[in-house]
Amino acid sequence: MKKLLLFFLIIGLYSCSKKSDYSYVDLSDARILSNPQRLLRFSDKYPFDIAIKDSLAILLFNKDDTCGAVYNLNTRKPVGYFGMVGNGPGEVTGISSVKNREYALEKDSLYFFDTNRGRLMGISLKMQNHFALNDILNSPNPLYKSFEQNITKNRMIGITGRRVPEMFFIYNFITRERQSIECFPEISDIDSIMKSSYYSALLGVNEKNDKIIAGMSCFDMIHIYSFQGERIKTICFSEKCIPPVKDHIFDLSKGYFSMYGIYPTKNFCYIKRREILSVSMENNKYRSTNITSILKLDWNGKLISSYTLPGEDLIRGLYIDEKLNRLYLIQNTIEADNADYCDVVYYDLNSNT
């Protein structure tokens, strides 16, 4: 009898220890953001990412002749373009921002990654009206066509397609070693093809704090790792942090939560989180009813503040000016006459209204 009790005690302690690195964060005190200030409006361009440096707004575009443009926020006019779209010499087919942008902004630059050609590129913001896109390095072969790129002095951290059981990689430029970080939490009863989509990671890093924050599109949680690949803790934002499984896929029919953007800064990490309330079919297209929130965490995972954005407008990009305490976003706006616009706006986080 004593041996049996000891057995169950060991099992109980083992279960508790396995869950002890999970913590739950209450988001019920989220502040609703209002009164966005519009800076730029586009009716024929589709910006999808933004960064701010002093009076300059750097935007990346879809469906345009150039990948990016620089706007003067005082005049609200373009002052330069970069990244001619094409397959010729010096041209690019598409670029994405390196996620830890502060690393480059300290040098008055911005870095981008050409996924198709495996090149790290950048523009200098020191020379007004001249924003040439220059090669910085070619991506090592093991990292060719990688995404969610974060660059530090000695490392590149990102994802390589959808390579289950790998969630993301850590590449050391000095040792040329590539470390694979496996998916977590492991859910065995999932179709292997869908698993590659579910576990596709979003990443933000902070070299000074030796921290990597990873989130995924169908999980209401984030993981904090060290640069050595050790998972330090997992933070959940609701009791429904993992959707139920039905017929070997996640059952999302009754709504779910999603992480869909991670933006690191020196002191904090900002996360775009979306609550999908319902999904319906209209005109042969899926339409979702959702609520978007922004979470501000320190690099130990402590919640500093959370914000809820009004309405259901499509939100793209995010940039935080921590000196002015402003949140910059790109919002899709449909006016009363059904005219469709892409607006660059900011919210004053100092304001109580």
Q: What pLDDT digit, counting tens, does each position of 17-53 carry?
A: 344 568 999 999 999 998 999 999 999 899 999 999 9
pLDDT, tens digit, for every residue of 190-223? 888 888 888 889 999 999 999 999 999 889 999 9
pTM: 0.88
CA distance 131 to 67: 12
> 328 or 11: which carries more pLDDT confidence?
328
On whether residue 221 sits in a domain, the answer given is: yes
Amino acid at 332: N
We report the CATH number of the domain holding residue 118 as 2.120.10.30
* pLDDT reported for residue 19: 45
On whether residue 15 sits in a domain, the answer given is: no
Contacts of 317 (CB under 8 A, 6+ apart): 47, 48, 49, 50, 328, 329, 330
Other Cβ atoms less than 10 A from the Cβ of 320: the count is 21
Half-sphere exposure of 98 (CA within 13 A, CB side): 26
- Domain range for residue 193? 25-348
On whether residue 2 sits in a domain, the answer given is: no
> 348 or 278: which carries more pLDDT confidence?
348
Task: Domain count for the chain, please give it.
Answer: 1
DSSP states of 252-285 as a string?
Answer: -TT-EEEEEEEEE-SSEEEEEEEEEEEEEEETTE
Other Cβ atoms less than 10 A from the Cβ of 96: the count is 16
On whether residue 52 sits in a domain, the answer given is: yes
On whether residue 268 sits in a domain, the answer given is: yes
On whether residue 253 sits in a domain, the answer given is: yes
On whether residue 20 sits in a domain, the answer given is: no
On whether residue 51 sits in a domain, the answer given is: yes
Helix (H, G, I), strand (E, B) or coil at 16: helix
